């Protein structure tokens, strides 16, 4: 019935055969291209499931950044209204802060809430061992700080982020946030030590480089993918370079990931 109705509105629309337990597809579908709808629905399903399973009453929740997190915030706001959850939400970026405020949620910070029950965040890529690449939207530093204060980091993503090995699907490289004055020496040192190449991320609607919420630059490291990397060791070594503020490598931080699939189901990974 629903499928017929949705198809009558837009013949190109793919209406998933299976609806997830969290009923994530019943709260509005996207009527654009086949791929966009599918990807957006996949993000939504993952986000809804994670919120339903991990966001509990009387807790402090870290709110990640990016397009998938938008769905998580919608769901958190729905549950605050419908079930009366009492939450404090700690943002990981300017974007997250705005989302919290726009949805009428209680805004917190690490000064008042140095310990969080869980953080829900997106990722650019997740490997088989749950090592993440984050920072495609430039928010890696605050995301890592907030995640480090949370009892649990829960990742929400669509199926394009689920990889065996980093670099398999996400081709933009590992973001490294750096103090502006140090971007050239850091670029040279990382290339000499590990290979690949680092590019200064440039802004799109502004001349010059992207400047993060923290006033820094981002170098995107296209690392050599023809060898195995010990990401924990790589991360530690890069972090030791003066001027490196943080990396988008999240090693040993996430314990749970939800991947929304094309058919509206959600797969899970736990470590």
Ligand X SMILES: O=C[C@H](O)[C@H](O)[C@H](O)COP(=O)(O)O
Size of the site for ligand X (CB under 6 A): 17
Q: Which of 125, 143, 177, 246 binds ligand X (CB under 6 A)?
A: 143
Per-residue interface string for the shown chain with ligand X, residues 190-229, x marking contact by CB under 6 A: ----------------------------------------
* H helix runs in 63-208, sequence order: 67-83, 94-102, 140-148, 183-194
- Residue 40 near ligand X by CB under 6 A: no
Angle at 235 between CA 176 and CA 151, to 5 degrees: 95
Eight-class DSSP state of 209: B
Q: Which of 134, 144, 201, 229 binds ligand X (CB under 6 A)?
A: 134
Per-residue interface string for the shown chain with ligand X, residues 42-81, x marking contact by CB under 6 A: ----------------------xxxxx-------------
Q: Which two tokens stand for residue 18?
A: 């299976």
Q: Which of 135, 173, 260, 264 binds ligand X (CB under 6 A)?
A: 135
Q: Minimum distance between the CB of residue 260 and ligand X, rounded to whole angstroms?
A: 11
Beta strands in the chain (DSSP E): 59-63, 87-91, 118-121, 125-126, 132-133, 153-158, 174-178, 197-200, 217-222, 244-247, 249-250, 254-260, 266-270
- Residue 139 near ligand X by CB under 6 A: yes
Could you say which of 40, 41, 143, 177 is catalytic? 143
| Residue 143 annotated in active site | yes
Q: Which of 40, 124, 125, 162 binds ligand X (CB under 6 A)?
A: 124
Q: Minimum distance between the CB of residue 108 and ligand X, rounded to whole angstroms?
A: 19
d(CA 218, CA 199): 8
Query: According to the 3-state scheme, what is the secondary structure of 48-90?
Result: HHHHHHHCCCCEEEEECCCHHHHHHHHHHHHHHHHHCCCEEEE
Cα dihedral 79/146/222/211 (nearest 10)? 100
Stretch in the footprint of ligand X (CB under 6 A) among 8-16, 101-109, 121-129, 228-236: 121-129
- Residue 91 near ligand X by CB under 6 A: no
Q: Minimum distance between the CB of residue 119 and ligand X, rounded to whole angstroms?
A: 11
Alpha carbon 124 to its chain centroid, in Å, reads 6
Angle at 11 between CA 7 and CA 15, to 5 degrees: 45
Q: Minimum distance between the CB of residue 189 and ligand X, rounded to whole angstroms?
A: 23
Residues that bind ligand X (CB under 6 A): 64-68, 121-124, 134-140, 143
| Residues carrying an active site annotation | 143
């Amino acid at each position: 019935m629903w499928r017929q109705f949705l198809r009558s509105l837009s013949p190109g629309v793919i209406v998933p055969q299976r609806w997830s337990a969290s009923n994530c597809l019943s709260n509005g579908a996207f009527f654009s291209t086949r791929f966009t709808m599918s990807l957006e629905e996949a993000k939504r399903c993952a986000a809804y499931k994670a919120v339903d399973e991990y966001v509990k009453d009387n807790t402090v929740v870290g709110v990640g950044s990016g397009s998938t997190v938008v769905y998580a915030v919608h769901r958190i706001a729905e549950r605050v209204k419908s079930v009366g959850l009492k939450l404090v939400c700690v943002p990981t970026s300017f974007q997250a802060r705005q989302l919290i405020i726009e949805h009428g949620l209680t805004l917190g910070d690490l000064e008042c809430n140095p310990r969080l029950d869980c953080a829900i965040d997106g990722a650019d890529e997740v490997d088989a061992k749950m090592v993440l690449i984050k920072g495609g939207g430039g928010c890696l530093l605050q995301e890592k700080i907030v995640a480090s204060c949370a009892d649990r980091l829960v990742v929400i993503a669509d199926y394009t982020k689920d990889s065996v090995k980093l670099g398999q699907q996400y081709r933009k490289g590992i973001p490294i946030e750096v103090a502006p004055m140090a971007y050239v020496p850091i670029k040279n040192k990382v290339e000499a030590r590990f290979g690949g190449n680092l590019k200064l991320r440039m802004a799109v609607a502004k001349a010059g480089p992207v400047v993060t919420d923290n006033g820094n630059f981002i170098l995107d490291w296209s690392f050599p993918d023809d060898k195995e990397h010990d990401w924990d060791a790589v991360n530690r070594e890069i972090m030791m370079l003066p001027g490196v503020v943080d990396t988008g490598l999240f090693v040993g931080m996430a314990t749970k990931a939800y991947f929304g699939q094309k058919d509206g189901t959600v797969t899970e990974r736990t470590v």
